[in-house]
């Protein structure tokens, strides 16, 4: 079974992380990860989640995730995004409350 998808065949329909990315990263500054991490870090957080999910699936790129692992990849990304958001908000709150 060839798990590689050529660039011509690759679309958002074959990307199991598209829906997760749209929810957590969004297209504007009101996305959850932007809220938790701000301008300079939120895209980096997503990049690390994406890379980690790819490694779990045994591939280097999202386009190489085979269809039979798409659900696992999507669920893993959702869980990681939720964890990162939760912890990012905790850190943000702790910084607000800390007064040296």
Radius of gyration of the chain (CA): 15
Q: What is the pTM for the complete model shown?
A: 0.80
Classify residue 20: in a domain, yes or no.
Answer: no
Classify residue 90: in a domain, yes or no.
Answer: yes
Classify residue 76: in a domain, yes or no.
Answer: yes
Range of the domain at 45: 29-94
Q: What is the number of domains present in the chain?
A: 1
C-alpha dist (Å) from residue 99 to 58, 87, 88, 90, 91: 45, 20, 19, 16, 14
Work out the burial of residue 11: count CB atoms within 10 Å of its CB; fewer than 13 is exposed, 13-18 middle, 19 or more buried.
exposed
Classify residue 99: in a domain, yes or no.
Answer: no
Q: What is the pLDDT of residue 9?
A: 52
**Exposed e or buried b for every residue in 20-45, given b needs 16+ CB within 10 A?**
bbeebbeeeeebbbbebbeeeebeeb
Q: At 10, give phi and psi (nearest 5°).
A: -80, 120
Classify residue 6: in a domain, yes or no.
Answer: no
Classify residue 72: in a domain, yes or no.
Answer: yes
Q: What is the pLDDT of residue 28?
A: 65
- pLDDT by residue for the chain (100 residues), tens only, comes to 445 555 545 444 578 999 999 999 887 668 899 989 888 888 899 999 999 999 999 999 999 999 999 999 999 999 999 999 999 999 999 998 887 7
Classify residue 5: in a domain, yes or no.
Answer: no
Longest dimension (CA), the chain: 59
Classify residue 73: in a domain, yes or no.
Answer: yes
């Amino acid at each position: 079974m060839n798990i590689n998808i050529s660039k011509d065949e690759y679309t958002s329909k074959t990307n199991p992380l598209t829906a997760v990315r749209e929810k957590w990263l969004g297209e504007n500054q009101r996305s959850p990860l932007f809220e938790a991490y701000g301008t300079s870090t939120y895209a980096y957080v997503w990049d690390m989640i994406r890379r980690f999910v790819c490694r779990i699936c045994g591939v280097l790129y999202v386009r190489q995730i085979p269809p039979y692992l798409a659900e696992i990849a999507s669920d893993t990304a959702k869980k990681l995004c939720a964890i990162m958001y939760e912890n990012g908000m905790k850190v943000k709150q702790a910084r607000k409350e800390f007064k040296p």
